[in-house]
Amino acid sequence: MNNVREAVTLPVLFLTVVLLAALRPGADVTVVPPSLASLVGAMVLFALLVRSGLLAPDRLMHSARSSLANVNGLFVVLTAFLASAQIITLLVPDAGVPALVGWTVLTSLLLQALAIAPDRQRLLRGLLVTFGAAFTLKFIVLATISAPAQSGVGRALQL
């Protein structure tokens, strides 16, 4: 791995993901920390990333590296974990039946991927589909259903 990529690019990328996923715009901009369930989901996602070889903590931290390089590797691992937790927090609805369904489906898909033990490329495809579907459901479908309805059909489908 390139030194600049490991020391600067990856931590800045992961910290940007953490910050942007934590912000909730509105009348008052709030910062939402990851929930306990999101941290547990991030542990499963992190285990998937390590098992598939997408993230290699043994290459980022080991005895042959200098102390500064090991600290930097630890920072990359921690920021990757925090970014995973914050993305899960962003994609799962906040409360109610949609949150219960979202957590059930997301947990089932992550545990299924853990049981399958896919390689790097297949895991990336699966995560893209999973997180893309979660993004679409939360920010397009649920937002449309929850919006004030103008028609009779819209009022019937409204949550």
Structure confidence by residue, pLDDT tens digits, 89-136: 988 888 777 788 888 888 888 888 888 888 889 989 988 998 898 888
Q: What is the CA 106 to chain-centroid distance, rounded?
A: 11
The whole-angstrom separation of Cα 72 and Cα 2 is 13
Predicted confidence (pLDDT) at residue 157 exceeds the cutoff of 70 = no
pLDDT of residue 6: 74
Retrieve residue 40's tokens: 């547990």
List the single range of 22-31, 42-51, 61-70 with lowest mean pLDDT. 22-31
Q: Which domain holds residue 112?
A: 3-157
Yes or no: say if 79 and 49 are a contact pair by the CB < 8 Å rule: no
Q: How many domains does the chain have?
A: 1
Write the pLDDT tens digit of every residue in 55-80.
888 888 888 888 888 888 899 899 99
Q: Which of 76, 70, 59, 58 is nearest to 12 (CA)?
A: 76
**Maximum CA pair distance of the chain?**
68
Residue 24, C-beta contacts closer than 8 angstroms, at least 6 positions apart:
30, 31, 32
pLDDT of residue 139: 82
**Whole-model pTM above 0.85?**
no
**Cα-only R_g, the chain:** 18
